[in-house]
């Protein structure tokens, strides 16, 4: 009997592993690295929000109603980005709002990726009726424009943090599922999977122990790209009043709150919107760097 | 492309459309409590009206029968009564649909006008400053929250310069007898140029806001497909024949590089439909998207259900059209 070929996962321990090479490529890309640092800084600020935010995000002070940013006439340096219509500190609300955006981004993508991996592996490896059933559900869910699907679900389920996560996960899992299914189909005929099957490994062991470690790169790349998308979707839902409810600070609802004062107090909408742009742009640039480093097949 | 292949592809749409209807039907089940009570809350409806609504919505029947009624009604365009408007849902939707179609088409045209030239130049000048700026620009485009960007556009163009209106679709001074119900087109067809100009002023900001993320996606696709075409043998052959670079680019490369862009544009039109809800809300555009958002807050569920079904069916058909278009533009691919 010939020797069982080592799986790429085992070989990955060597000095010139694809993972290490990918990491080196990523670290050498200054734009992506800087973007990753920005994302980490926002994450740190969100986690340590009570320590970082200069004021209580929900503390109202009508004497400071629509107070301009510090550098404009009438502004104060202790209220850097000014105050909203209820006299709440905009910077503090942005810092606390980051918690909502990041929590929803991470929770939705993590849940969707877990579901997508399980169903994508099952469809791609087991084939037959399992594949047909999963693929048809995927086709049907792809039949809905994403935002409309989420809006309809939020309309039916009602607003709230948990409902936003659910409304977005219901469709989001389809994307990692398709990626995993495609990669699994390519992997199931490889030598090391054949070898594992020959030595009697169970289906679960082959799917999660052999195939999954070898298809993780594209899955992680897709997950980071999707996180940016999910954050914009959450902000859009909150902007429409279907997301996180007041008084909890959310970037989307902060932009909506400032709309009525755009003539006299541009800062109320501008800074939360800028926060969304910076976070989403940083995630997009970092994920492009990740893609170039770990999944070079799809370059250009 | 064989007619049988198109017919087979059309047949494949049936289970997808059926699945879409099942999900739209099931969404009603997610509504906590009795949908009729929720819908009529605060509307001082009598018990008879509630019973009549319950009957219209098929809520007094078993689930399978309810689904059959829903499907039959959907196929005949009967979505019941919009209690809020006191008119049939289909009529209310038909009234608001042209504004959404006009906005979507305008956004699509703007997106293509931005994406095609920028994508071509970025590919031809690969690695140049222009290419890098275009890449950064496209990253900005996909990262921009549309609702925020729309509000920002209002500050210089509507508030400071007063060039473009803040909200709405037309001014009261312009009355154009409808032909297509698309205001700009109808004004042109009726020879009312001033009204066409006025309608364009209202359309500009919402259409640009809606177009930018799509333009960013299409530019990337255009650049990538152009790069691929420029590396191909027939382009090298055309250059070797001594054809001018301009002729090679416009007559040979561009035509072939357009196929993926046009296909993605058809698919992206579906995303524009979603973006409509946000952009119409920002600019007070009287389209279907804004109607759906308003209907959610007054719990006008039959209208939301009908609109979601309409959006989904349109989206599925757009994807189908994209498939057909791709095979027409690229004869190497079979359905």
Query: Backbone dihedral region of A187: left (phi > 0), alpha (psi from -120 to 50 degrees) or beta?
Result: alpha
* A206 in a structural domain: yes
**Which residue shows structure tokens 């998308």?**
A229
CATH code, domain carrying A151: 1.10.3720.10
Q: CB-based contact (8 Å) between A191 and chain B?
A: no
Inter-chain touch A140–B23, beta carbons under 8 Å = yes
DSSP A79: G
B149 contacts A236? CB cut-off 8 A: no
Instruction: Judge whether B27 and B305 are in contact, CB under 8 Å.
Output: yes
* pLDDT over 90 (residue A20): no
A190 lies in some domain: yes
The burial class, CB within 10 Å (0-12 / 13-18 / 19+), for B54 is middle
pLDDT at A246 over 90: no
Residue A33 lies in a domain: no
A288, B315: Cβ pair inside 8 Å?
A: no
CA-to-CA dists, residue B27 to A223, B36, B53, angstroms = 27, 15, 18
Distance CA(B324)–CA(B302), nearest Å, equals 33
Taking an 8 Å cut-off on Cβ atoms, the answer to whether B311 and A144 are in contact is yes
pLDDT(A148) > 90: no
Residue A30's pLDDT band (cuts 50, 70, 90): confident
Please provide the DSSP assignment of B53-101 as one string.
Answer: HHHHTTTTS-HHHHHHHHHHHHHTT---EETTTTEEHHHHHHHHHHHHH
Distance CA B77, CA B91 (A): 10
Question: Is A7 a domain residue?
Answer: no
| Most confident of the following: A88-102, B9-23, B187-201, B260-274 | A88-102
What pLDDT band is residue A3 in, cutting at 50, 70 and 90? Answer: very low
Q: Domain span at residue A171?
A: 59-286
- CB nearest to A148's CB, from B28, B301, B308: B308
| Chain B neighbors of A262, CB-CB under 8 A | 151, 154-155, 159
Q: What is the pLDDT of residue B331?
A: 66
Q: What is the mean pLDDT of residues A233-260?
A: 91
Residue of A nearest to B296 (CA): A155
Terminal Cα distance for chain B, rounded: 8
> Domains, chain B, ranges and CATH?
99-286+308-329 (1.10.3720.10)
Contact: A144, B282; criterion CB under 8 Å: no
Q: Which parts of chain A fold into alpha helices (H)?
A: 8-11, 18-28, 30-47, 49-52, 90-126, 128-142, 146-157, 161-172, 174-187, 191-198, 203-204, 212-239, 251-259, 267-294
Which residues of A are less than 8 Å from B28 in CB distance?
156
Contacts of B107 (CB under 8 A, 6+ apart): B206, B207, B208, B210, B211, B214, B272, B275
Alpha-carbon gap, residue B332 to B154, rounded angstroms: 47
Phi, psi of A89 (to 5 degrees): -70, 120
Asked if the C-beta of B312 comes within 8 angstroms of chain A's C-beta atoms, the answer is: yes
Res A50 pLDDT > 60: yes
Does the pLDDT at position A14 exceed 80?
A: no
Per-residue pLDDT tens over the stretch B211-247: 999 999 999 999 999 998 888 888 888 888 888 888 8
From the list A137, A152, A269, the residue facing B304 with the nearest CB is: A152
Provide the percentage of residues in chain B whose pLDDT is more than 70.
94
pLDDT for B29-86, tens place per residue?
667 667 677 667 766 778 888 888 777 767 778 878 888 888 888 888 888 777 777 7
Percentage, residues of chain A above pLDDT 70: 93
User: Quick check: bond before A247 cis, omega within 30?
Assistant: yes
Number of domains in chain A: 1
Chain B contact present for A144, CB below 8 A:
yes
Cβ neighbours, 10 Å, residue B255: 11
Among A42, A148, A264, A286, the residue to mutate for chain B (most B Cβ within 10 A) = A148
pLDDT for A96-143, tens place per residue?
999 999 999 999 999 999 999 999 999 999 999 999 999 999 989 988
pLDDT band at B333 (very low <50, low <70, confident <90, very high): low
Checking if the pLDDT of B18 tops 80, the result is: yes
Q: Identify whether A45 is part of a domain.
A: no
Q: Does A208 lie at the interface with B, CB-CB under 8 angstroms?
A: no
User: Quick one: pLDDT at residue A299?
Assistant: 46
Q: Is residue A103 part of a domain?
A: yes
Who has greater pLDDT, B138 or B2?
Answer: B138
What pLDDT, on a 0 to 100 scale, did the predictor assign at position B42? 67
pLDDT surpassing 90 at residue A94: yes
Q: Nearest by CB to A235, from B145, B151, B308: name it.
A: B145
B interface mutation test: which of A147, A149, A154, A155 has the most B CBs within 10 A? A155
Give a yes or no: residue A27 inside a domain.
no
Chain A CB contacts of B16 below 8 Å:
136, 139-140, 143
Q: Say yes or no: A149 contacts chain B, CB-CB below 8 A.
A: yes
Select from B145, B160, B275 the residue whose CB has the most chain A CBs within 10 Å, as the one to mutate to test that interface.
B145
Please, are residues A130 and B3 in contact by the beta-carbon 8 Å criterion? Answer: no
**pLDDT value of position A137:** 92
Is residue A15 scored above 70 in pLDDT?
no
Q: Does A241 touch chain B (CB under 8 A)?
A: yes
Residue A94 lies in a domain: yes
Of B171, B162, B168, B178, the C-alpha closest to B194 is B171
Of A145, A263, A280, the CB nearest to B143: A280
């Amino acid at each position: 009997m010939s020797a069982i070929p080592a799986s790429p996962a085992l070989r990955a321990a060597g000095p010139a592993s694809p993972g290490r090479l990918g990491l080196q490529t990523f670290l050498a890309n200054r734009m992506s690295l800087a973007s990753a640092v920005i994302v980490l800084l926002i994450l740190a600020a969100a986690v340590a929000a009570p320590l970082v935010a200069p004021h209580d995000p929900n503390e109202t002070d009508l004497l400071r109603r629509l107070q301009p940013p510090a550098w404009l006439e009438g502004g104060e340096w202790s209220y850097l980005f000014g105050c909203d219509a209820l006299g709440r500190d905009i910077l503090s609300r942005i810092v606390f709002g980051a918690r909502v955006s990041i929590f929803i981004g991470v929770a939705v993508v993590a849940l969707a990726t877990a579901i997508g991996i399980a169903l994508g592996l099952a469809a791609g490896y087991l084939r037959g009726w399992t594949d047909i059933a999963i693929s048809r559900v995927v086709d049907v869910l792809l039949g809905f424009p994403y935002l409309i699907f989420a809006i309809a679900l939020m309309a039916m389920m009602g607003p709230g943090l948990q409902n936003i996560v659910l409304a977005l996960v219901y469709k989001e899992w389809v994307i990692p599922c398709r990626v995993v299914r495609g990669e699994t189909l390519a992997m199931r005929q490889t030598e090391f999977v054949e070898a594992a099957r020959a030595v009697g490994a169970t289906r679960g062991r082959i799917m999660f122990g052999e195939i999954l470690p070898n298809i993780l790169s594209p899955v992680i790349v897709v997950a980071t790209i999707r996180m940016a998308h999910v954050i914009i979707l959450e902000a859009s839902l909150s902007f429409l009043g279907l997301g996180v409810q007041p008084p909890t600070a959310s970037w989307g609802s902060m932009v909506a709150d400032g709309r009525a004062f755009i003539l006299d107090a541009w800062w109320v909408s501008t800074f939360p919107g800028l926060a969304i742009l910076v976070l989403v742009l940083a995630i997009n640039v970092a994920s492009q760097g990740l893609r170039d480093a770990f999944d070079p097949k799809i370059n250009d | 492309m064989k007619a049988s292949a198109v017919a087979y592809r059309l047949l494949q749409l049936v289970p997808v459309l059926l699945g879409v209807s099942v999900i739209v039907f099931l969404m009603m089940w997610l509504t906590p409590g009795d949908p009729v009570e929720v819908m009529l809350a605060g509307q001082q409806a009598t018990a008879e009206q509630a019973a009549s609504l319950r009957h219209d919505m098929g809520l007094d029947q078993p689930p399978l029968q309810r689904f059959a009624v829903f499907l039959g009604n959907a196929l005949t365009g009967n979505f019941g009564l919009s209690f809020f408007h006191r008119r049939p849902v289909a009529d209310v939707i038909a009234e608001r649909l042209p504004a959404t179609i006009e906005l979507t088409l305008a956004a699509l045209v703007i997106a293509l006008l931005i994406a095609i030239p920028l994508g071509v130049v970025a590919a031809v000048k690969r690695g140049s400053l222009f290419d890098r700026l275009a890449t950064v620009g496209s990253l900005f485009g996909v990262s921009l929250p549309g609702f925020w960007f729309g509000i920002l556009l209002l500050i210089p163009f509507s508030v400071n310069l007063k060039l473009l209106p803040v909200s709405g679709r037309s001014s009261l001074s312009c009355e154009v007898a409808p032909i297509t119900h698309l205001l700009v087109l109808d004004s042109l067809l009726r020879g009312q140029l001033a009204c066409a100009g006025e309608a364009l002023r209202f359309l500009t900001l919402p259409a640009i806001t809606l177009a930018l993320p799509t333009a960013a996606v299409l530019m990337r696709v255009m650049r990538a497909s152009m790069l691929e075409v420029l590396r191909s043998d027939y382009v090298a052959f055309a250059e070797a024949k001594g054809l001018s670079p301009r002729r090679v680019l416009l007559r040979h490369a561009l035509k072939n590089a357009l196929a993926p862009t046009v296909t993605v544009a058809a698919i992206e039109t579906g995303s524009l439909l979603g973006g409509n809800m946000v952009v119409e809300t920002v600019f007070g555009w009287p389209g279907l998207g804004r109607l759906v958002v308003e209907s959610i807050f007054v719990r006008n569920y039959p209208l939301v259900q009908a609109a979601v079904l309409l959006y989904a069916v349109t989206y599925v058909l757009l994807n189908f059209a994209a498939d057909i278009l791709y095979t027409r533009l690229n004869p190497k691919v079979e359905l």
